């Protein structure tokens, strides 16, 4: 009673509110101080669930934040807009944008971890709810669980009957049912995103990943059931310290009115609505681009199962090293696959080189070969194009020295770059910040060199005519070869041109010794900024990134290597 009198005396100074687990006192100056209770009072859910409430709510907050982020890295048009059109977007920020898929994966891992913690915590919480309802808990938690059985009372415990099981509540409430759907969708999306499945069964990954629609729909409605309930303010307020030991007197004395509870307002939709709208706009833009007419200029079937498509689309503008997504409705209405463009911005068409590595590319190659045999006039099958989208290779001309490393079909972005250089050389006064390019191409088969060797031969001749033979240094490495091939090369080694490519630069056999290559570049350009660009496997990316750090000089006046990798 003394506490109630003191509370009334100081009401003009302090305003006291009861939240779930603490008092908040606010003085006249507006400062706030959270004061933990020395004894566990009537704390709503935290009395019944104890630490289980925190283990459920904290991951939920982290989930809200990460679900807000997960869609942003896959808004390709938004990233391209930021990357290409904003003058404030410097080199460092562009490098981070190039890691959008890595960021997307890390956010997905965090969502998976927090979902597991959140789900396990609520499973334990449902068991505690059931125990309290059965009278197996302490007196206070049992009394709280029985609230709502009589008129003019609100409930705290979602289990409203002693005969109800936690399993029944999980599968019949909005929160439980949507939670099950969200978790199943998340498990399917993450497991199908494993490297081995994505490479061998891309269609499984592609279709399963679209369960994100169900995931976000369930996420928005997950809080609508308002399972987590907190106390409402009553007049007079419920005196926690005075009433915690006498729940039998609740409603009988002024200091202890019956607590009133209400479900919290759902907040998850407030976190994800913005990214969902952005992603919806992204899909609308993609659909509009898909509906635009694309015509074939030329179709060429190259060696080593490589298909070249030269396409024309009204209003299409590209930069070097960019990529597009292609869709062929005759194969699949929904599948879109990324391909780097091999044409130059100066050309009146754009081209892609597609290596057959899966079901979709095999069907596309079969259609192209069938049409070529029966000489069907172009166009013979429809294709949709979404893009272009920016990549790290766009920045190749921003460096004084550029180091280009391609593996197999990964040479495609550098084909665009070298073609653009050739067109620039055709101008009377080409303006290039880049003074030197080192190009490395690693291939396992000799046939892979054939379609690209012609471009290198033209570049060789063009640069020699202009007295710029030292502008481009290229080294081709054949990593897969047998003894018969080696013997053939040995016999014809004294020829002026390479027996494999027909170029003046002889082909190397085996893999590059990167320490020697970086040392040579550092000695030739001791004060330059070198951009190292890779389109190849992750193992090589880790090696080159380490070499860039190793051979960069601490002195700001010395050479610096900046690593850039293509990501799709």
Instruction: Indicate the pTM of the whole model.
Output: 0.74
Residue-level pLDDT at 302: 75
DSSP 226-289: --SEEEEP-SSPP-HHHHTT-GGGTTTSTT-PPPEEEEPPP-HHHHHHHHHHHHHHHHHHHHHH
- Per-residue pLDDT at 478: 80
pLDDT of residue 30: 33
Q: Using only the alpha carbons of the chain, give its radius of gyration.
A: 33
The confidence score (pLDDT) of residue 361 equals 87
**Of the candidates 480, 469, 474, the residue with the CA atom closest to the CA atom of residue 498:** 474
Task: Quote the pLDDT of residue 375.
Answer: 59
Q: What pLDDT, on a 0 to 100 scale, did the predictor assign at position 22?
A: 35
Find, among 466, 335, 323, the residue nearest to 389 by Cα.
Answer: 323
Q: Which two tokens stand for residue 550?
A: 């190793």
Contact 20, 43 (CB under 8 A): yes
| Cβ count within 10 A of residue 511 | 11
Within a 10 A sphere around the Cβ of 118, how many other Cβ atoms?
22
Q: Which of 234, 360, 236, 357 is nearest to 304 (CA)?
A: 357
In terms of C-beta distances under 8 Å and separation of at least 24 residues, what long-range contacts does 495-498 make, across chains too? none
Other C-beta atoms closer than 10 Å to the C-beta of 232 total 12
pLDDT at residue number 188:
94
Q: What is the SS3 assignment for 403?
A: strand
Q: Say how many Å lie between the first and final Cα of the chain, rounded.
A: 69
Q: List beta partners, residue 18.
A: 23
Between the alpha carbon of residue 75 and those of residues 37, 71, 97, 393, the distances in Å are: 47, 7, 11, 19
**Beta pairing partners, 472:** 437
Burial 234-246 (b: 16+ CB within 10 A, else e): eeeebbbebbbee
**Do 439 and 418 form a contact (C-beta atoms < 8 A)?**
yes
Distance of CA 389 to the CA centre of its chain: 15
d(CA 404, CA 452): 15
Angle at 259 between CA 256 and CA 264, to 5 degrees: 150
Closest by CA to 514, choosing from 493, 491, 539, is 539
Q: State both tokens at 406.
A: 């391609």
Short-list 291, 483, 293, 296, CA closest to 376: 296
Comparing C-alpha atoms, which of 243, 115, 269 is closest to residue 187? 115
**C-beta separation of 71 from 278 below 8 A:** yes
DSSP, res 556: T
For residue 36, what pLDDT is reported? 32
Instruction: Give yes or no for a contact between 456 and 474, defined as CB atoms under 8 angstroms apart.
Output: yes
Enumerate domains of the chain plus CATH numbers: 42-173+227-272 (no CATH), 292-389 (2.40.30.10), 392-565 (3.40.50.80)
Each residue's pLDDT expressed in tens, for the chain with a length of 568 residues: 433 433 343 333 333 333 333 333 333 333 332 333 323 333 456 666 677 777 888 888 999 999 999 999 998 888 888 876 655 556 667 777 778 888 999 999 999 999 999 999 888 888 877 777 777 766 677 777 677 667 666 777 777 777 777 788 878 888 888 999 999 999 999 999 888 888 788 888 888 999 999 999 998 888 877 777 766 666 666 666 666 666 666 767 776 777 777 777 778 888 999 999 999 999 999 888 888 888 888 888 876 778 888 899 988 888 888 889 998 888 888 788 888 888 888 888 898 888 887 788 888 888 888 776 665 555 567 888 988 888 878 888 888 888 999 887 777 788 888 888 878 777 655 667 788 889 898 887 666 666 677 667 777 776 677 666 677 888 888 876 655 555 545 544 555 565 555 566 667 778 889 999 999 999 988 888 888 998 888 888 899 999 999 998 888 888 889 888 877 6
What tokens does 76 get? 């390709």
Note every long-range contact of 86-94, with CB atoms under 8 Å and residues 24 or more positions apart, other chains counting. Answer: 91/395, 91/398, 91/562, 94/392, 94/395
């Amino acid at each position: 009673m003394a506490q109630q009198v003191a509370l009334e005396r100081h009401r003009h100074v302090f305003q006291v509110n009861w939240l779930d687990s603490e008092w908040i006192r606010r003085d006249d100056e507006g400062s706030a101080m959270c004061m933990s209770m020395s004894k566990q009072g009537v704390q709503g859910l935290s009395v019944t669930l104890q630490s289980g409430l925190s283990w459920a709510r904290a991951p939920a907050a982290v989930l809200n934040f990460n679900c807000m982020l997960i869609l942003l890295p896959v808004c390709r048009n938004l990233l391209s807009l930021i990357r290409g059109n904003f003058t404030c977007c410097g080199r460092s920020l562009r490098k981070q944008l190039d890691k959008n898929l890595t960021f997307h994966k890390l956010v997905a891992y965090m969502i998976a971890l927090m979902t597991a913690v959140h789900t396990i915590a609520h499973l334990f919480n449902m068991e505690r709810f059931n125990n309290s309802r059965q009278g197996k808990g302490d007196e206070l938690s049992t009394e709280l669980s029985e609230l709502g059985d009589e008129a003019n009372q609100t409930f705290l415990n979602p289990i409203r009957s002693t005969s109800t099981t936690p399993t029944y509540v999980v599968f019949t409430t909005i929160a439980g049912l949507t939670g099950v759907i969200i978790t199943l969708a998340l498990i399917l999306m993450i497991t199908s995103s494993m490297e081995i499945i994505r490479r061998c069964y891309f269609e499984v990954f592609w279709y399963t990943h679209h369960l994100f629609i169900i995931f976000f729909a369930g996420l928005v409605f997950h809080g609508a059931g308002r399972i987590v309930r907190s106390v409402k303010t009553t007049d007079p307020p419920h005196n926690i310290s005075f009433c915690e030991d006498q729940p039998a007197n609740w409603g009988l004395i002024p200091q202890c009115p019956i607590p009133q509870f209400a479900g919290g307002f759902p907040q998850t939709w407030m976190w994800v609505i913005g990214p969902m709208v952005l992603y919806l706009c992204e899909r609308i833009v993609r659909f509009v681009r898909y509906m635009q007419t694309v015509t074939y200029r030329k179709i060429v079937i190259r060696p080593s199962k490589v298909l070249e498509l030269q396409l024309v689309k009204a209003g299409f503008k590209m930069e070097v090293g960019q990529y597009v997504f292609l869709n062929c409705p005759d194969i699949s209405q929904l599948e879109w696959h990324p391909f780097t463009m091999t044409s130059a911005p100066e050309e009146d068409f754009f081209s892609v080189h597609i290596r057959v590595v899966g079901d979709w590319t095999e069907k596309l190659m079969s259609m192209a070969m069938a049409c070529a045999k029966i000489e069907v006039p172009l166009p013979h099958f429809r294709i949709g194009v979404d893009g272009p989208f920016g990549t790290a290779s766009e920045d190749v001309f921003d460096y004084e020295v550029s180091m280009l490393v391609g593996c197999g079909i990964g040479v495609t972005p550098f084909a665009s770059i070298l073609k653009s250089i050739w067109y620039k050389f055709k101008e009377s006064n080409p303006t290039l910040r880049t003074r030197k390019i080192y190009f490395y191409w690693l291939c396992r088969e000799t046939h892979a060199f054939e379609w690209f060797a012609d471009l290198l031969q033209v570049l060789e001749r063009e640069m020699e005519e202009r007295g710029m033979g030292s502008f481009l240094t290229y080294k081709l490495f054949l990593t897969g070869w047998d003894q018969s091939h080696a013997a053939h090369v040995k016999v014809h080694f004294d020829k002026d041109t390479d027996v494999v490519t027909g170029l003046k630069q002889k082909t190397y056999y085996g893999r590059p010794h990167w320490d020697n290559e970086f040392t040579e570049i550092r000695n030739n350009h001791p004060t330059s900024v070198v951009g190292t660009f890779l389109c190849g496997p992750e193992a090589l990316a880790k090696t080159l990134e380490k070499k860039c750090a190793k051979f960069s000089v601490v002195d700001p006046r010395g050479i610096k290597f900046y690593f850039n990798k293509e990501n799709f």
